[in-house]
Every structure is written in C-alpha cells, then in structure tokens.
Amino acid sequence: MYWMRFVILIIASAVLQLSIVKGLAIGPDLVQPDLMLILLAYFAAHATSPDAVVCSFTIGLMADITGWTLGPLTLAFGLIGLAISYLRQYVMLEGIPQRALLIFLSGFAISSLARGLSAIKGVPVPIPPASHMIFGPLYSAVIGPFLMQPLEWLMRLQDKKYRMGLR
Amino acid sequence: MPYRRRPRHRRIRLGWFLLLGAILMLLPHTAATRLQMAVLQVLRVPIRSGRWIGLAARTSIELGGYVPAKQYKQLADQYQQLLNRTKTLEAALEDGYKRLEELAQIRQIKPLQRLRPISARIITFLAPTQLLIEAGKADGITAGDLVMADEAIIGKVVFASAYTAKVELLTSPQMAMVATVRPSNIAGLLKGDGNNGMVIRTRAPCPVKVGETVFLDDGPGKGLPVGTVVSSQLDRKDPLLWVIRVQPGWDMSRAKVVWVMTTGQ
C-alpha cells in the first residue's frame, strides 16, 4: 500500500469536498456527492482486510473533520468499511452497476449509523435526512464508479504484488 | 532482493480504531469544533481557492456556458457603464434624501412654516461674504428673502435675476439685523465684520458672557439662532460701548446647497 499517496489523497479529497464539490450541489437542499464515501467504497472493496480497516477509519476521521462533529462518522465509516471488506469475500464488486450499488448502500448505511451515533452524542445533524441518507449517496453512486478507475491508477490496489502482501 | 512480508494484526488495529472512535464520541462538541476549525485553518488556502473555482464553474453553468471574448468585453463594458450610472443615481438619491431631511427640519421651525423653502445649489463665492446661487426669479425668489443653511439663517437675497440670485451673508459689513442675546436678554444691532464673524455693539457695561446664543429679532426669521458669543468686552476705542463678538452657527466651507425662504405661494 502506498501510504503516502493515501494520506495525500484523503487530504486532497477533503479539500475538494469543501471547495469544488460544493459547486456541484443540486436541488433546493444542495445535495452534493460525497468523495469520502467513494474513497471508502474503493478502499474497502479493494484493499486487503487489515489495510481496509485502517483506510476506513482514517477516511471516517477525515469525514468527521469536515463534518458536523467528531466521532460518529469515524465509527460509521470504520464499521461499514469493515463490513464491506468481509462482504467482498462472498460478492463480486467489479463492474459499474455493482460499484454504484455498493456506494449507494454503504452511503445509506453510513448516514443512518452516523445519525444514530450523533443522536447518542447529542449533536444535531445539520443535513436534511432525505438528502443525507438517499439523495447524497445516490449522487455519489452516479459519479463514484467513474472515479474508481483514476483511483486504481493512483493506488494500484489490484496489483499482484499488493494482493500477495509484498508491497 | 526478496520482498519482506509485513505482519498484519487486524483485530488489534480494529480495537485501536474502535477505541479512537469511542474517544472522539466522548469528546465534547465544543472541543470537537475547535479541533475541526484548527485543521480547516491549516487547509484554508486550498479550500478558499477551490471554492472560488467551484463558484466560477457554477456561474458559467448558470450563464449557459462560455461566450466569445469580444461579446464578453462588450458585456463587461456595458456592465461597467451600468455600474457607474447606478453609482451616480445612488449619489443623487442620497443627496435627495439629505435635502428632504433638511426640508423636514426647516418645516418644524415655527417662524418659517408660512414660508416656502426652495433649495438652490451654490454656484460660487463672489466675495468672502457673497454667494451666487442657482435659483432666481423664475423660482419665485425676490430680493429680501432669507437664506438658510445648517438650520441657521445665513443671510439675505440682495439681488435676483431670472435664474440666479446674489446672497449677502450675515458676516458682510453691509448687513445689519436686530438680534437678542439669550439668556442675558440683551438686544442690539447685529452687523457683519466682513471677516467670517459678526458684532453687536451696545452700551457698557453689559452682562453677556461667552457661550451665550444670539437669536434674530427681525423679520420672518425672528427667534432663529444665528451664532454663539465668543467674546464680550469693553470697546477699546469707545469706553461707553460694549463689543460682543459672535461666531456664525454655520460652516459655509462645507455647504453645497442653501435654502431660500420665499414668501410666494
């Protein structure tokens, strides 16, 4: 795993999420794609299980930093990333429709879990439920599969050396 | 050189990360917000640049795409012209509001309620104590009309042509009006000294003190303040007289518009 690339990638994604992606917002609720969710789907589906855990929690932490409070998204991203890394042993996650479905379902699960954890923490979520749980993940699912190929060029997680644990 | 396998302890890592998540969950919201702000402060430059790009992209989408450079330049010129015109109109509007406000204040002055105020721009100073204003007989102005600025009587119209009028300020030596100093209640003839000041000469001794106010006691402007006493002393040339020097209650260096109080309907 190219960890330095990973760190730069998530910082760059956080910056993009807070800046350029805001320009892609649509609808009255300003629904926007979630780059962190797309990164999570990619790393959880293609990294080895131990790396997937690290990546999921780290992406969750970055999502928390750019989110409304610290904690809920770290746990939600970590746990859902872990679930995806288990799931991929039984389900094929190649191809655009599968990837889109993966992004949508993981987005729905993460937002539901994060809202629950946020309620436990006692911090209100400033995003309307429909855009947070349905339209946001849907938007991410539409553009996410097309971003996964450039991610693969950058991170090379499907490389043989990496799969064998040699890199 | 053979590759070295790294040990991977997934459960231990998972445990550590869950612990980190739990700690973050227990972190108070205010502390979390401070931490978020600190990180965002570090990344503020790229975020700001990116937002600008995002906004520009969004604007071009709303405009319906790109326009040719020539058309863009034309539009930019038109926009600049409109902007300049808007600024001019805004300035005129503000000026209008200011005049309205002054007019409302004049309307509240009882002795002037029967008179019709006409605003007139100052064209120039003919002498230190003479003004030429941009209103004349065509506007209903006649010689003898009182002229106001800064809510004080500043002089009289001495000559009116069709579209301009000459105003003699109270500071002119040719002007003389009956005035009263209050609260000492001493009346006398107020005359200009020709040097941005006015003088009242009365019999010595006189109880007037510095700081008292001088009011007109003559014509339609009766009861209106004209200035403040700045000195009150015995006349050096004639020991039988007392000289009261009055500083005008207006500042003509700042005034651009005056009000002529006409008697016509």
Domain boundary assignment for chain A? 3-14+32-163
Is B180 within the bounds of a domain?
Answer: yes
State whether residue B177 is helix, strand or coil: strand
B145 with B156, same domain?
Answer: yes
Query: Both B234 and B123 in a single domain?
Result: no
Cα–Cα distance, B40 to B44 (Å, whole number): 6
Q: Name the band, by pLDDT with cuts 50, 70 and 90, for residue B1.
A: very low
Q: Tell whether B181 and B56 lie within a shared domain.
A: no
Distance CA B222, CA B215 (A): 7
Partners of residue B18 in chain A, C-beta under 8 Å: 75, 78
Domain co-membership, B98 together with B135: no
Residues 16-45 on B with a CB inside 8 Å of A are 17-18, 20-22, 24-27, 29, 32-33, 35-36, 39-40, 43
- Residue B13 has its nearest CB partner, among A15, A50, A120, at A50
Identify the domain containing residue B75 by its residue range.
67-108
Number of domains into which chain B is organized:
4
Confidence of residue B214 (pLDDT cuts 50, 70, 90): confident
B95/B136 same-domain check: no
ipTM: 0.79
Supply the CATH number for residue B242's domain.
2.40.10.350
Given pLDDT bands bounded at 50, 70 and 90, which one contains residue B66? low
Mean pLDDT (chain B, rounded): 80
Residue B139: CB partners within 8 Å, gap ≥ 6? B118, B120, B260, B262
Stretch 48-77 of chain B: residues touching chain A, C-beta under 8 Å: 48-51, 53-55, 57-58
Q: Is the N-terminal amide bond of B183 cis, ω within 30° of 0?
A: yes
Q: Taking CA atoms, what residue in A is nearest to B15?
A: A53
Per residue in B216-254, pLDDT (tens digit) is 887 777 777 888 898 888 888 887 888 889 988 777 777
Point out the residue among A21, A70, A167 whose CB comes nearest to the CB of B24. Answer: A70
> Which of A49, A62, A74, A84 would you mutate first to test chain B, the one with the most B CBs within 10 A?
A74
A74/B24 Cβ within 8 A: yes
Confidence label for A8 from pLDDT (cuts 50, 70 and 90): very high
Tell me: do B237 and B184 sit in the same domain.
yes
Question: How close B67 comes to chain A (CA, Å)?
Answer: 20
B169, pLDDT greater than 80: yes
